[in-house]
Amino acid sequence: MGIRYTTAELHGNITEHDKRIGTLEQGEVRQDERIGELRKDVNDVCATTKKLSDVVITSGVAIKIGTWIMAGFGISVIALIWSLVTGQASLIFK
């Protein structure tokens, strides 16, 4: 023989389940909103990262150009010093 429940007990259980389901649905809405906010934050971070990546790439090119310019300047200073040491050039101060 099965278990018997009164109509009042069943109604109470259904009402309780309805409340629990309502609470879960409200929580789901809050979680969806939070996920949307987090997704926006992630998109903002990705956009910022892209901008920073572009700046780093541009800076890398500028650094390479600067390195070549400084290397040329360094070589010319070394050549001047060598010319002074060997007597091929002289400095005249007035």
CA 42 – CA 50 distance, rounded (Å): 12
**CA 16 from centroid of its chain's CA atoms:** 46
| Tens digits of pLDDT across the chain (94 residues) | 678 888 988 899 899 999 999 999 999 999 999 999 999 999 999 999 999 999 888 898 899 999 999 999 999 999 999 999 998 888 788 8
CA 14 – CA 23 distance, rounded (Å): 14
